[in-house]
Amino acid sequence: MPVSIQDVADRANVSISTVSRVLNRRNIVNQETRKRVESAISDLGYSPNVFARGLMLRKSHILGLVLPDLHGEFYSEVIRGANLRARELGYNLMISSIVAKDDGSELMAAVGDHGLVDGLAVMISEVNARTRATLEKIKIPLVVLDGDVDGVKHDSVVIDQRTGVVALLRHLIEDCQARRIVFVGGLETNIDTIERLDAYREVTADAGIEVTASDVHHLDYQYDTAFELGVKKVREWARRRAAVFAANDEMAAGIIDAALAAGLSTPDDLPVVGFDDTRVATMTRPRLTTVRVPMSSMGAAAIDLLCQRIENPKRPAVKLSLETELVVRESCGAPSAITS
């Protein structure tokens, strides 16, 4: 049933090496012979067997993308960007998520060993000893997304969250006269949350804004929990004339709705800003002032780096930092420079 290179060779009255040459180094084969071979190929609908080819070339043209989770727009956009670029570069994309409890070693072993994938892009939301050990074992081209791991040599794609947070909070402070800012983040161990919280502490300190322990909240990046928190806190926040910096748009939406439910309005009674600029950001009323994170570009960049390294394994490790952009809408209560 499957048509092999031999079948093509027979039909074109040549040897398999000639067929192979037509397929690869097309130049050194006679015009006429090539034509015969080519028509034989299309007549038979032949296409080379990936396994045989992989066995010889030690290349699968498959790239692996490992994500911490497959929930939410953030990840799906990363996938989308990665997939698009991979196809442009002639690669296939294999996707997996690190299932809860699993530190991903099982997965990465499964995917990365055996030579199945030519390279691996891994996004980690939490760096610990186990993930580090896992990553150390990977011997194929590796790029780490959104966080880099000390002691492991690899390329990485990060987003410049710091600049984003700074721009966002400065805007809140300078243009919106915020005198107090509440932080609503994800888990304390989450890389992004850590970075955003650090930047938050810096900016507030610089501006002489006091931050008490009760100003920092660690949730789970979800709308519902943010809404619940909001229901309990918005009145107090509003009374203290605070603004809310939520570490993602969904939580910001939850806070806004909680304020509304409490009879308060955003931004008048309680300014709220988000992060990521996902679709949610334009689905709230008022629409969210937030920071645009180039999600799909992250995926694409990861694939780029991977392919570069595959082609040139000696290239020194690169750390690519993607820029973020402040997007001012209505939820912060300031006249906007950028409208979008």
| Neighbouring-strand partners of residue 93 | 63
Give burial (CB, 10 Å; 0-12/13-18/19+) of 335: exposed
Q: Which of residues 30-59 bind DNA (CB under 7 A)?
A: 30, 32-34, 46-49, 51-53, 55-57
DSSP 245: E
Q: Is 105 in the site for its own copies (CB under 8 A)?
A: no
Give the shortest CB-75-to-its own copies separation in angstroms: 7
Q: Establish if 99 lies at the interface with its own copies (CB under 8 A).
A: yes
Q: Are 323 and 315 in contact (CB under 8 A)?
A: no
User: With contact defined as beta carbons under 8 Å apart, do 154 and 126 qualify?
Assistant: no
Q: Are 243 and 176 in contact (CB under 8 A)?
A: yes
Q: Which two tokens stand for residue 177?
A: 């006269």
Identify the residue among 7, 16, 33, 48 touching its own copies (CB under 8 A): 48
CB of residue 266 to its own copies, shortest distance in Å = 12
Q: Is 133 a residue that touches its own copies (CB under 8 A)?
A: no
**Cβ 159 to DNA shortest distance, Å:** 39
Which pair of tokens denotes residue 255?
């806070």
- Encoded amino acid at 330, one letter: E
Residue 327 is encoded by which pair of tokens?
Answer: 């997007």
Pick from 4, 97, 222, 282 the residue near DNA by CB under 7 A. 4
Residue 315 has phi, psi (to 5 degrees) of -55, 135
Q: Residues in the site for its own copies, rule: CB under 8 A? A: 1-2, 47-52, 54-55, 60, 62, 70-73, 75-76, 79-80, 83-84, 87, 92-97, 99, 107, 109-111, 113-116, 139, 223-224, 250, 253-254, 257, 260-261, 279-280, 282-283, 285
Q: Residues in the site for DNA, rule: CB under 7 A? A: 2, 4-6, 13-18, 20-21, 23-25, 28-30, 32-34, 46-49, 51-53, 55-57
